[in-house]
Structure formats: structure tokens, C-alpha cells
């Protein structure tokens, strides 16, 4: 929302996997994992539309919180904006999108919606 071209965030395994999913789905331009002999840093180049300069990520909504975890089975997986957005799930087979979880028939914790 602040129109930054590059953001740096502290690294964790969960954040790395979410970054890979966002890159694969085309929500970010590029990313780089930097090891600084501590926790590490993730540098993310954000994606904007060339003509209107609108961000590729319109909203990122956190669903499962530490105080209230949200779990779902593969039959009741959420559809974000009728399939236009992506729900990121933490499953027993790793982090994946809602579409991948439907194909593999696994449920899990719904982390966030991205659209």
C-alpha cells in the first residue's frame, strides 16, 4: 500500500514457503533469501501494473490466528473470490494453495487469503 518496490522481512521457514507460493502464482516479481549469520532476511520485489500502477496484491487477509486456529477438510476448502484469489494452507504435506490441496485431497490450517 505504501508503493515500495522492495521490502525486507525477517526470514523463517514459513515465510520462505509463503514467498515461494506468491512468486509461483505471480503476485510478486522476485525474491531473494539472504543469510546474515543470524535469522536471515527475505528481500521481496513487489509487483505493480505498468499502466495503472496498481499493486498485484490487492489484499492479504489473515484467517487463522494464534488465538483462533481455522482448520478445514479438503471437501470444504474455501474459494477466494470464486477462484480468482488464492488461499494458502498449512497441511501435513507442507504449505500449498487451496487448488493444490483439492487435487491432493488434503485439508489443513487456512493461513491466509491473497487476492
Question: Looking up cell 492479504, which residue turns up?
Answer: 60
Domain boundaries, the chain: 1-56, 58-114
Q: Residues of the chain with pLDDT > 70: what percent?
A: 100
Helices (H), the chain: 13-24, 98-104
CATH classification of 1-56, choosing from 3.40.47.10, 3.40.50.300, 3.40.50.620, 3.30.1370.30?
3.30.1370.30
- The tens digit of pLDDT for each residue in 27-78 reads 999 999 999 999 999 999 999 998 988 999 999 999 999 999 999 999 999 9
Q: What is the pTM of this model?
A: 0.90
Using the predicted structure, report yes or no on whether residue 2 has a pLDDT greater than 90.
no
Confidence band for 3, pLDDT divided at 50, 70 and 90: confident
Helix, strand, coil in percent for the chain, rounding step 5: 25, 35, 40
The helix/strand/coil state of 63 is coil
58-114 domain in CATH 3.40.50.300? no
Amino acid at each position: 500500500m505504501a508503493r515500495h518496490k522492495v521490502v525486507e522481512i525477517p526470514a523463517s521457514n514459513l515465510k520462505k514457503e509463503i514467498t515461494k507460493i506468491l512468486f509461483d502464482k505471480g503476485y510478486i516479481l522476485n525474491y531473494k533469501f539472504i543469510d546474515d549469520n543470524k535469522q536471515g532476511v527475505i528481500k521481496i520485489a513487489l509487483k505493480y501494473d505498468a499502466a495503472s500502477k496498481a499493486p498485484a496484491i490487492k489484499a492479504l487477509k489473515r484467517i487463522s490466528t494464534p488465538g483462533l486456529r481455522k482448520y478445514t477438510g479438503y471437501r470444504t476448502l474455501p474459494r477466494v473470490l470464486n477462484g480468482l484469489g488464492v488461499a494458502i494452507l498449512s497441511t501435513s504435506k507442507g504449505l500449498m494453495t487451496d487448488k493444490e490441496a483439492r487435487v491432493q485431497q488434503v485439508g489443513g490450517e487456512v493461513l491466509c487469503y491473497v487476492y
